[in-house]
């Protein structure tokens, strides 16, 4: 495969394919495993992820890249094959989460800033050696009565831009993920408010990327969709989510960016698929629009597996189904009837 940033970015958003976000940090994977009563150990985490990466139909046909947590990048399958090699053998690009998590932003009570820039240049070189060809850094922006603040938007956009420039210097494609969260207690978190805040965050983001000299053709954007907050009590139609999301992206994202891969952010599996499908079915866009889901690709699989080796085939079938549905959504061919088929 070509080592050019632009070619890697294009491969990450290949036609009808998307990115599997399997980069749950130790605390997050523990929470996921707690929900199925499985102890989170190095081996159980390895077994679970090996099951995903050995899902041949899903990996070969619908998954273009996999975001890994650092531990997984260096882990070996039960038979000694590096997990990274399983991903490469399926024709997918291995990637790595490089941020050190969202920490409290000083001077505010609920806002966060993502840390991890110190020593990043050296870590990126190590990750490249280990086979990673793209990276991910996620910032979180919280909507509440008094937030987000300009300080939060600006600090996160600046850190994301510095991260992206360092990645490109190391030959690694940055996924830039400024996530406007859909959770949180706030009845005023309407779809209009999400639209306004996402537009603010993305416009700031692209200014910062420009200032940092980031090559837009060698990156992938990972944004949230425009949806009402979970606690708002309101529901939006699939058509409204699609229309607002496409409008917001067209207003903010330069056409030189090759692809946009959404996060699912707490939407149900089927909602995340339906929204992506509606956008691709109804709009002409200058970039590829696909998925980079964590929960919406893995929830059914995790449940079907439940930590039992005899359930590996069932877990893989569940993962394959969601990967296939989202692959169709990326092509705009998914309908509700596809789920039953």
Residue 138 interacting with ligand 5MM (CB under 6 A): yes
**Residue 326 neighbours by CB distance under 10 Å:** 31
Distance of closest approach, residue 49 Cβ to ligand 5MM, in angstroms: 11
Q: Mark residues 263-292: x for contact with ligand 5MM by CB under 6 A, - for none.
A: xxx---------------------------
Q: For ligand 5MM, give the closer residue by CB, 323 or 337.
A: 323
Helix axes 150-169, 120-129, angle to 10 degrees: 50
Q: For ligand 5MM, give the closer residue by CB, 39 or 183.
A: 183
Distance of closest approach, residue 2 Cβ to ligand 5MM, in angstroms: 25
As given in the structure block, the two tokens for residue 222 are: 């990972």
Q: Hey, is 76 helix, strand or coil? A: strand
Residue 230 interacting with ligand 5MM (CB under 6 A): no
Residue 294 interacting with ligand 5MM (CB under 6 A): yes
Q: Give the footprint of ligand 5MM on residues 16-45 (CB under 6 A).
A: 21, 23-25, 28
Contact 116, 47 (CB under 8 A): no
Q: Give the footprint of ligand 5MM on residues 172-191 (CB under 6 A).
A: 179
For residue 128, give every residue at least 6 positions away whose Cβ sits within 8 Å of its Cβ, in sequence order, or none: 170, 171, 172
129 is catalytic: no
* Spatial separation of the C-alpha atoms in residues 291 and 150, rounded to whole Å: 28
Q: Which of 177, 179, 199, 208 is catalytic?
A: 177
* Spatial separation of the C-alpha atoms in residues 262 and 177, rounded to whole Å: 9
Contact 141, 148 (CB under 8 A): yes
88 is catalytic: no
Output DSSP code: residue 216.
Answer: G
| Binding residues for ligand 5MM (CB under 6 A) | 21, 23-25, 28, 67, 138, 179, 263-265, 293-296
- The catalytic residue positions are 177, 222
């Amino acid at each position: 495969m070509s080592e050019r940033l632009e070619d890697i970015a294009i491969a990450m958003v290949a036609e009808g394919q998307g990115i599997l976000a399997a980069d749950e940090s130790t605390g997050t994977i523990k929470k996921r495993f707690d929900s199925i009563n499985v102890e989170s150990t190095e081996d159980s985490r390895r077994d679970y992820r090996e099951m995903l990466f050995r899902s041949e139909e899903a990996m070969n046909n619908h998954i273009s890249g996999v975001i890994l947590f650092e531990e997984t990048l260096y882990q070996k399958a039960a038979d000694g094959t590096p997990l990274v090699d399983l991903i490469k053998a399926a024709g997918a690009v291995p990637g790595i989460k490089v941020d050190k998590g969202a920490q409290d932003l000083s001077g505010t009570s609920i806002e966060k800033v993502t840390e991890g820039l110190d020593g990043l240049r050296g870590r990126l070189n190590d990750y490249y050696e280990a086979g990673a060809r793209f990276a991910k850094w996620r910032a979180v922006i919280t909507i509440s009565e008094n937030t987000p603040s300009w300080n939060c938007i600006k600090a996160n956009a600046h850190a994301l831009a510095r991260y992206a420039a360092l990645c490109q210097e190391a030959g690694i494609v940055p996924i830039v993920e400024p996530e406007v969260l859909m959770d949180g207690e706030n009845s005023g978190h309407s779809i209009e408010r999400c639209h306004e805040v996402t537009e603010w965050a993305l416009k700031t983001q692209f200014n910062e990327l420009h200032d940092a000299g980031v090559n837009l053709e060698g990156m992938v954007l990972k944004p949230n969709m425009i949806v009402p907050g979970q606690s708002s009590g309101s529901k939006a139609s699939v058509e409204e989510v699609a229309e607002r999301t496409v409008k917001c992206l067209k207003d903010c994202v330069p056409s030189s960016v090759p692809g946009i891969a959404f996060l699912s952010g707490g939407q149900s599996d089927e909602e995340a698929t339906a929204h992506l499908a509606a956008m691709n079915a109804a709009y002409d866009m200058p970039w590829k629009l696909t998925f980079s889901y964590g929960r919406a690709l893995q929830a059914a699989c995790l449940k079907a597996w439940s930590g039992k080796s005899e359930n590996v085939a069932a877990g893989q079938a569940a993962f394959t189904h969601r990967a296939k549905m989202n692959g169709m959504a990326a092509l705009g061919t998914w309908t509700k009837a596809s789920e039953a088929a």
